[in-house]
Amino acid sequence: MKVTVVGAGIAGLCCAYYLRKRDVEVTILDSAHVGARSASSWGNGGWIAPAQAGPLPEAGLTVYGLRALVRADSALYFRPSYLPHLTPWLLRFWTYCNQRDYDSGTAALAALGKRSFQLVDEMVDDGVEFDLWKLGMVCATSKPEEARKVLRSLEGMRKHGYDLPDDILGEDEIKAIEPSLNDRVKAGFHLEGQWNVKADTMTVGLGSKLREMGVEIVEEAEVTGFDRTDGAVRAAHTTKGDVTADAFVLAAGSWTAPLARKLGVSIPMEPGKGYSFLLRPKVMPRHGILFADIHAGVTPLGDRIRIGGTMEFSGYDLSIDERRISNLFRLASDYVELETPDYEEPWAGLRPMTVDGLPVLDWAGPYRNTYVATGYSMLGMTLSEPGGEALAEMITTGRRPELFEPFRIDRFPRLIARRPAR
């Protein structure tokens, strides 16, 4: 069997890895290259955080979103000029902002993330080389009620077997665990079950391993269309010529939606832009840190920390809005004592955001030899390993695993009002 995977971000590379493990002949096509800065898998927080896997739409987000509409420095931002295009997505997104969908989405993501740590460990044992730290995570806030709110939002994970603290810690206790926290922090909690990677080392490491395993990676080969006959895709048209295969996997991150549209398949997904940069702190954190007040994550990367955050809906635009990144830097500087008062390596990436915050792992509509692996939203580094493993099983056995039921491509109804209960 010969499978062509479109996209060399973490989603595509993981699919290719598990397909190759099943003795499938694999080719990867990417419009850029493995480890490209333009991919969301390059400069993200790199948290492997299955216990934090709640979907983005949650009850109460609606009001926040409305307020944020006009504020360019807000953590969640919709660019006004993009709103006419975004409105249908936004309306559908709002239909999922309720407790029932949040709970069922959390359950689905909790089940998918169950094997993340084990699979990452197995990759390391298999000789995939990347920077990995098993440090755990600290949530730190300026007000105890904020820390309590975050802990409550994770509560649904407890019944799925994830270890969570029973209560928050006070200022002295949380600082004893994480001495890098400054006086602004008054409360928090500590979670052991979180690892972090330097994201670009993981994609580059996987790319090298895949080449060693005999996978062909064709770079600078943008897929521009497909050849179809008898309900099957026969070839992908690329800027480097046509590529034929028995099966295809569309794993092109945010760009999967326009790609699938070329097959007449609709995925309600929008790019959600996030920013990150590097800082030199005076005291290196011992953990990943979630500064929940400012919606920013801290990833220790040896001699620097990466700060990541913000969610901006402004289309397929990778430019860096100076106001937004400066604001994130200003907010972060209040929480981190800096060795050098400036940020390095500013970066923007596009998260593939579905309307319900869950990935799409399924056949591409009517095409029985074409699959979709996308929509990992804020959790691609965490969930691409189990998603890729189970998708490889689906492709080689022809059966959709039970685990994938909540991630079906046909779960999105055409009419918002007629959405069935999950």
Ligand X SMILES: Cc1cc2nc3c(=O)[nH]c(=O)nc-3n(C[C@H](O)[C@H](O)[C@H](O)COP(=O)(O)OP(=O)(O)OC[C@H]3O[C@@H](n4cnc5c(N)ncnc54)[C@H](O)[C@@H]3O)c2cc1C
Binding residues vs ligand X (CB under 6 A): 6-12, 29-32, 36, 38-41, 44-47, 222-223, 251-255, 259, 274-276, 308, 349, 351-352, 374, 376-382
**Minimum distance between the CB of residue 11 and ligand X, rounded to whole angstroms?**
3
Give yes or no for a contact between 55 and 96, defined as CB atoms under 8 angstroms apart.
yes
Which CB atom, from 45 or from 285, has the smaller least distance to ligand X?
45
Alpha carbon 265 to its chain's center: 22
Which CB atom, from 156 or from 274, has the smaller least distance to ligand X?
274
**Minimum distance between the CB of residue 255 and ligand X, rounded to whole angstroms?**
3
Q: Residue 285's closest CA among 189, 180, 187, 195?
A: 180
Give yes or no for a contact between 347 and 37, defined as CB atoms under 8 angstroms apart.
yes
**Minimum distance between the CB of residue 106 and ligand X, rounded to whole angstroms?**
15
Which SS3 state, helix, strand or coil, does residue 90 take?
helix
Give yes or no for a contact between 359 and 376, defined as CB atoms under 8 angstroms apart.
yes
Which CB atom, from 190 or from 273, has the smaller least distance to ligand X?
273
Q: Where are the beta strands (DSSP E) in 245-365?
A: 247-250, 269-279, 288-291, 296-300, 305-313, 344-354, 360-364
Which CB atom, from 175 or from 272, has the smaller least distance to ligand X?
272
**Minimum distance between the CB of residue 176 and ligand X, rounded to whole angstroms?**
25
The CA–CA distances, whole Å, from 82 to 230, 271, 274 equal 38, 12, 16
Which CB atom, from 174 or from 206, has the smaller least distance to ligand X?
206
**Minimum distance between the CB of residue 181 and ligand X, rounded to whole angstroms?**
20
**Minimum distance between the CB of residue 9 and ligand X, rounded to whole angstroms?**
2
Give the separation between CA 387 and CA 406, rounded to whole angstroms.
Answer: 12
Which CB atom, from 130 or from 175, has the smaller least distance to ligand X?
130
**Minimum distance between the CB of residue 420 and ligand X, rounded to whole angstroms?**
27
Which CB atom, from 175 or from 370, has the smaller least distance to ligand X?
370
**Minimum distance between the CB of residue 24 and ligand X, rounded to whole angstroms?**
19
Contacts of 378 (CB under 8 A, 6+ apart): 56, 272, 351
**Minimum distance between the CB of residue 33 and ligand X, rounded to whole angstroms?**
8
Which CB atom, from 175 or from 327, has the smaller least distance to ligand X?
327
Give the separation between CA 300 and CA 137, rounded to whole angstroms.
Answer: 11
Which CB atom, from 73 or from 222, has the smaller least distance to ligand X?
222
Give the separation between CA 258 and CA 288, rounded to whole angstroms.
Answer: 34
Give yes or no for a contact between 48 and 117, defined as CB atoms under 8 angstroms apart.
yes
For residue 338, what is the DSSP state? B
Q: Where are the beta strands (DSSP E) in 186-264?
A: 187-191, 195-197, 216-218, 223-229, 232-238, 241-244, 247-250
